[in-house]
Structure 1
Amino acid sequence: MSSQPRRQRLVVEDIGDVTVVNFVDKKILDEQNIQMIGDDLFRLVDELGRRKLLLNFSNVEFMSSAALGKLIRLHQRLAQVQGKLILCNISKAILEIFTLTKLDKMLKIVKDEATGLNSF
């Protein structure tokens, strides 16, 4: 049984009381990867007690619909604990998917990280 170190998929930085999350992968597509990213994001809320999450998508070029599902669940989870989720730096292609699925109405999406930090 080889215990490979888990590849980091998120870069997490606390700026004041806001947790900024940057995605390492350009493409968030395969189920296993999405599951791990989801686990890491939920751990921030459930285990580390983070309540203000700013997800920075500047590195992400493609995202599957399964990844969108995780974002919806994360948004709902944060809402249950009076937290807030904001997304920023979303590419035009991904933003179109958010618009088509009406996720842009459910999730707060801002242009950049600075705007995001000021939106809490």
Structure 2
Amino acid sequence: MAGFERLVVVDKEDISVVRFVDRKIIDASEIEQLGAELLSLVDIQQRKRLLLNFEGVEFLSSAALNKLITLHTRVKRAGGTVRICNLHPQIREVFAITRLDRMFEIASSESAGLAMF
């Protein structure tokens, strides 16, 4: 999909599978861009069913987690759903500690994530 630098978006029927370009999501300016790209999926492209595939992502900063929370809120307000798959074990642990695993349904694989819809 044209226009994204931090994301790769592939549509599987009415579900948008979102993959991340960066292995480490820590740079403030990149996180701002990532957040803007994620929100544009909802606000501009009207996508309501997102599967965030974190395959290959090894680290997320707290600022990146905040962008995910904002995305979740925006998608939910639009009547949609965000699911997550392929979390690195360390990131999964952060989701558990911050209780984000209660906000997001998390699957072990992309196919399992797609099946959750």
**TM-score interval w.r.t. the shorter chain?**
over 0.9
Residues 15 and 33 (structure 1), Cα distance of their counterparts in 2 relative to 1, 3 Å cut: same
2:86 corresponds, among 85, 89, 95, to 89
5+ residue gaps in structure 2?
none
Letter in 2 for 1:63: L
Out of 45, 50, 53, the position equivalent to 2:47 is 50
Superposition deviation, residue 7 in structure 1? 7.5
Aligned-partner Cα distance in 2 for 1:72–1:23 = 16
Q: What percentage of residue pairs aligned between the two structures are identical?
A: 48
Gaps of 5+ in 1: 1-5
Alignment coverage as a number of residue pairs? 115
- Cα displacement string for residues 38-87 of structure 1 (whole angstroms, at most 9, x for unaligned residues): 10010010000100000000010011011001101100111101100001
Q: Does 1:40 align with 2:37?
A: yes
Matched, 1:80 2:74: no
Cα distance in structure 2, aligned partners of 1:28 and 1:114? 24
Give the CA deviation at 1:31. Answer: 1.0
In structure 2, give the amino acid aligned to 1:57.
F
The Cα RMSD (Å) is 1.2
Post-superposition Cα deviations, 1:7-59, rounded to whole Å, max 9, x if no partner, equal: 82111100000000100100000111111011001001000010000000001
Does the residue aligned with 2:113 lie in a helix, a strand or coil? helix
Rounded Cα–Cα distance in structure 2 between residues aligned with 1:39 and 1:10: 11
Instruction: Report the TM-score when normalising by structure 1.
Output: 0.93
Q: TM-score, normalised by structure 2?
A: 0.95
Match of 1:3 in 2: none
Q: Structure 1 residues 7, 103: closer, same or farther in 2, change over 3 A?
A: closer
Residues 19, 53 of structure 2: 8 Å contact kept: yes
